[in-house]
Amino acid sequence: MKHKMGDKLPGNANWMSRLPEELLDVPLWNLAIPGSHDSMSFCLDTSSPVVESESWFLKVMDRLAPCCTRPCVLRWATTQQTVLSSQCELGVRFLDMRIAKKPKECSKLFFAHGIYTWITVKDCATLRSCWSRHQQIIVSYDNQDMVNNHPQLWTDIPYWYADSTDPKKVIAYLEAQKHAGRPSCFFVSGLNLTETVPFVLLHPFENMRKITTKALTVLLGWVREQQPGPEVDGVNIICCDFVGASNFCDCVIRLNYKGRC
- Active site annotation includes 203: no
Report the percentage of the chain scoring pLDDT > 90. 45
Question: Which of 68-82, 146-160, 178-192, 236-250 comes out lowest in average pLDDT?
Answer: 68-82
pLDDT in tens, 151-192: 888 888 899 999 899 999 999 999 999 999 999 899 999 999
What DSSP designation does 135 have?
Answer: E
Give the number of other CB atoms < 10 A from CB of residue 190.
22
Which position among 3, 113, 150, 179 bears the catalytic label? 113
pLDDT at 60 > cutoff 80: no
pLDDT at 40 > cutoff 80: no
Q: Say what the pTM is.
A: 0.83
Which position among 3, 37, 134, 179 bears the catalytic label? 37
User: Of 233, 235, 227, 237, whose CA–CA distance to 259 is shortest?
Assistant: 227
Report the percentage of the chain scoring pLDDT > 70. 75
Helices 66-77 and 56-64 cross at an angle (nearest 10°) of 140
pLDDT at position 55:
44
Give the number of other CB atoms < 10 A from CB of residue 235.
26
Most confident of 121-125, 247-251, 255-259: 247-251
**104: Cβ–Cβ under 8 A, 6 or more apart, which residues?**
none
Three-class SS state of 121: coil
pLDDT at position 171:
97
Instruction: Please report which helix (H) or strand (E) contains residue 190, including its range.
Output: strand 188-190
pLDDT band, residue 57 (cuts 50/70/90): very low
**87: Cβ–Cβ under 8 A, 6 or more apart, which residues?**
36, 39, 80, 95, 243, 244
Instruction: Output 105 or 16, whichever has higher pLDDT.
Output: 16
pLDDT at position 54:
46
- Active site annotation includes 113: yes
> What are the angstrom distances between the C-alpha of 216 and each of 38, 123, 206, 231?
17, 35, 16, 26
Q: Report the alpha-carbon distance of residue 252 to residue 255 in Å, rounded.
A: 6
**Domain ranges (residues) in the chain:** 16-38+83-97+157-257, 41-79
